[in-house]
Structure 1
Amino acid sequence: MNPDLSGETVLALHAHPDDESIFTGLTLRRLADAGARVVLVMATRGDVGGSHVPLAPGERITERRTRELEAAAALLGVSRLVLLGHRDSGLPGGPDVAHPLALAGADPVALGRSVAELVDAEGAGTVIHDDDAGIYGHPDHRAAHAAGAVACALTGAAGFRMTVDREHLALSARGRHLVHGAAHAAGVGFGRVTAEIGVAVTGSDADLAAKREAMLAHASQIVPDTLPADGFADAYGYEWFLRGERDGGTAAPGVLDALGNAHLLAGAR
């Protein structure tokens, strides 16, 4: 059962369309169902991604991915979607990182101030953003981490840094989580060990179904065959977060803990 989070506003900062569903779909849906206002801030529109489905004549990939993002946001109960308009930087080590408009090259302080303005305008008490490793080292995820950290420092909002539990995924997902393929393509590691993670969020069958539907809304990026209903919970049934730091130590439990911290259960599976 969801707690009553009426009056709470949570801002979730993500790098690319589909990240919101893959890494925080359960969390955002449950926050919305609990009465919280969810503000989704997307740093890029996935400019350099390909498409698994044909684009319409004259359609650009950014247009397709934006429509998919809007559909996924509606499925997850997002109250407001904000597009920051930076350019996708591509995979680590790729040529797009050097593009002058790439998110990876953005001034992290200026970007963080922009996010902080949204935090203040929305009255958000909590900011969800990437961990300092960018989950799997992606330069855009690292940039989103830096911006989120600056925004939290400027506003005093509680920070929760999204990641994945690689030990849990090794036992349960066996390569079926999309982060495995992304990390392999980039030739990098990913995630954290269970002992590093402070919060794990899970949900009901209905919550899982909503997350899967939101992921499938990103048809240009996610092939349905990679998300079979059977076994979906093994790969995507938990979402993991590190608590932010405050006053030189780890911050106290916050809004995400109110959803029910499944950390011990996630680590034991």
Structure 2
Amino acid sequence: MHTPDLSGETVLALHAHPDDESIFTGVTLRRLADAGARVVLVLATGGDLGGSRLPLAPGERVPDRRRRELEEAAGLLGVSRLVLLGHRDSGLPGGPGTTHPRALAAADPLALGRAVAGIVDDEGAGTVIHDDDAGIYGHPDHRAAHAAGALACDLTGATGYRMTVDREHLALSARDRHLVHGAARAAGVAYGRVTAEIAVAVTGSDDDLAVKRAAMLAHASQIDPAAVPADGFAAAYGHEWFLRDPRDGRGAPGVIDALGNAHLLAGAR
């Protein structure tokens, strides 16, 4: 697989919760790092309301566990800098967590966007990855991360890519085997976009997918290995999908396009 030279490029990826970075952009971040780009990962919350499927150590809190797991995953994905914005997980739409004073969903969107823009400026990042406007599956924290990322792009002029999933592709190749399926059911919402809406689909080698799976499994408090078996992993998680930022009508190709557009290549065959 062709590896472009992205030396000198800095890409900031903004995510709502620990593990989102691995699930939705694990291959993309690893390939960016391998191509020489500096990858800055920004997490808006500590995933406080995610609970833990494993027992916590004495005195350990869920955010403590999730931060350790995040740091391990970030190392696997080649992240150069990890930034935690310190907001509280908001929980599912309509739940009591959305009104907590520290909840991401209750944060001032302008202040949040300016905070992200400050990191973009500090890093000289030319590209920002963030959620699509529907928050991928409607989660209030993903919606807030979208708003912050979009504003940061407006304030800094960075090229924006909006992560999503291709629901038509998943329906054909991985019915009910992607974690987004369960998340969307829990939230009671639709998820993703149809294929025709998606501008860029990134895929990777078998080694890239192995790293992505390892990064997902680093989040052991959240992800059961039985839910992401190696057999069939590529069908469910082998592509990562993006919309280009339409804010100025250009939708011009940028750094993520340099990784190769798997969707368009597949359609051309």
Q: TM-score range by the shorter chain?
A: over 0.9
> What's the CA shift string for 1:37-62, capped at 9, x where partnerless?
00000000001111111100110000
Gaps of 5+ in 2: none
Provide the aligned length of Structure 1 versus Structure 2: 268
| Stretch deviating more after TM superposition (256-265 or 112-121) | 256-265
The 3-state SS of whatever aligns with 2:48 is coil
State the distance in 1 between where 2:220 and 2:267 align: 31
CA distances 1:164-204 after superposition (whole Å, capped 9, x unpaired): 00000000011000000000111111000000000000000
Asked if 1:84 is matched to 2:100, the reply is: no
Q: Is the 8 A contact 1:168 1:266 kept in 2?
A: no
Superposed, 1:13-28 pairs within 5 Å as 13-28=14-29
Aligned positions of 1:1-269 closer than 5 A: 1-247=2-248, 249-265=249-265
The structural deviation recorded for 1:93 is 1.6
Give the Cα–Cα distance (whole angstroms) in 2 for the partners of residues 268 and 228 of structure 1.
30
* TM-score (normalizing by structure 1): 0.98
* Paired AA for residue 254 in structure 2: G
CA change 1:267–1:92 in 2 (3 A) is farther
Q: 1:96 & 1:266 partners in 2: Cα distance?
A: 42
Larger deviation: 158-167 or 50-59?
Answer: 50-59
Q: What code does the residue aligned with 1:64 have?
A: R
TM-score relative to the length of structure 2: 0.98
Please state how far the C-alpha of 1:264 moved relative to its aligned partner.
2.6
The CA deviation at 1:68 is 0.2
Taking the aligned partners of 1:260 and 1:153, their CA distance within structure 2 comes to 26
- State the 1:250 CA deviation: 3.9
Please tell me whether the aligned partners of residues 4 and 34 of structure 1 are also in contact (alpha carbons under 8 angstroms): yes
What is the CA-CA distance between 1:266 and the residue it aligns to? 5.8
Q: Distance in 1 between matches of 2:223 and 2:3?
A: 29
Which amino acid letter does the alignment assign opposite residue 255 of structure 2? V
Which deviates the most, 37-46 or 98-107?
98-107
Instruction: State the alpha-carbon separation in 1 of the partners of residues 168 and 59 from structure 2.
Output: 44
SS in 1 for 2:24: helix
For the residue of structure 1 that corresponds to 2:129, the secondary structure is strand
Q: Deviations over 1:190-219 (max 9, x none)?
A: 000000000000000000000000000000
| Counterpart secondary structure, 1:11 | strand
Q: Which ranges of 4 or more aligned residues in structure 1 deviate by more than 2 Å?
A: 264-269
- Indicate conservation of the 8 Å contact 1:238/1:266, yes or no: no
Alpha-carbon separation, structure 1, partners of 2:99 and 2:138: 16
- In the aligned structure 1, how far is the partner of 2:114 from the partner of 2:262? 33
Distance 2:136 2:265 in 1: 21
Instruction: Note the aligned Cα RMSD (angstroms).
Output: 1.2
Supply the distance in 2 between the matched residues of 1:266 and 1:11 (Cα, whole angstroms): 28
Q: How far does the alpha carbon of each residue in 1:15-49 deviate from its partner, in whole angstroms, 9 at most, with x for none?
A: 00000000000000000000000000000000111
Percent identity of equivalent pairs: 82
For 1:180 and 1:53, the matched residues in 2 are separated by 22
Equivalent-residue separation in structure 1 for 2:26 and 2:123 (angstroms) = 21
Consecutive unaligned residues of structure 1, counting only runs of 5 or more, are none
